[in-house]
Amino acid sequence: MATTVAALQTSPQATMSAALDETLTLAAEAVAAGAVFLGTPEYCGGLVSDGPKLIPPHAHEDEHAYLNGLKRFAADNGVWFLVGSVAITASEGRIYNRGFLLDNTGRVRSRYSKIHMFDIQLSQADVYRESASVTAGSEAVWMDTPVGRIGHTICYDLRFPHLYRELAQAGAQILAVPAAFTRKTGAVHWHVLNRARAIENGAYVFAPCAVGAVPGGGEAYGHSLVVDPWGAIVAEGGEQPGVVLAQLDLARSDDARKNIPALAHDCAFSISAGDATAVT
């Protein structure tokens, strides 16, 4: 049976209150369209940059106004909500880039702290150092929901396929990739990486991506995606905030894994330098 899901393509906001207002407007639109599972991008509770450093608005989990607002929405509307990620206060002036899965009573059912930090240099001026302010997580997380078993990941994790393989081998049928992909990297890598993760694992990829200018510098790509287990894009956002609706049918995942059972075909191997003088 197909289930209606909605990726909420929000824009980077400087404050939690502005972020919550935008998210709740889109969430209400999604529920009116029949969505029973909603998801938001990375840093959906606010995102600000200061040169290469990310300094999003943050708070302790229990006091997080944005997160608490989505808990109320989930409970009031009886929907499950993937909170792509928000900044959670850590120690010594640092934060966690943490995603949450809320059930239809507003209760936190799982949480995931981003493992792979976005530390790259695209050019002399285009530099990102997420690790300068964010403490990385170290645990992969999946959770059973009425939509299916969901594996948590966040943005830059997308470039590390072993994470997705292990989540899929743990039974995840839907791989969540909330993101704030940069415009430059998104234009060349976003679609192909999401499609690859779906194909490799016979899983749906659910990838809400932020869109628009980041306060302080930078720009998010948008083009939120839902990709089916055969790698077909079944829904895509554009370059404006909005709601991306899709139907998920887990039989598609079952079929892909039955026909191409690669998740069960891992082989042990060693690696070494080749011998250029060897003759066979």
The residues annotated with a catalytic role in the active site are 42, 114, 155
How far apart, in Å, are the Cα atoms of 35 and each of 76, 77, 277? Answer: 14, 10, 62
Distance from C-alpha of 215 to C-alpha of 193, rounded to nearest angstrom: 27
Beta-sheet strands, E only, within the chain: 3-9, 37-39, 49-50, 53-54, 58-59, 80-89, 95-102, 108-113, 119-121, 127-129, 142-145, 148-152, 174-176, 204-207, 211-213, 219-221, 225-227, 233-236, 242-248
Contact criterion met (CB below 8 Å) for 35 and 4: yes
Distance from C-alpha of 155 to C-alpha of 84, rounded to nearest angstrom: 9
Largest CA distance in the chain: 71
Contact criterion met (CB below 8 Å) for 56 and 269: no
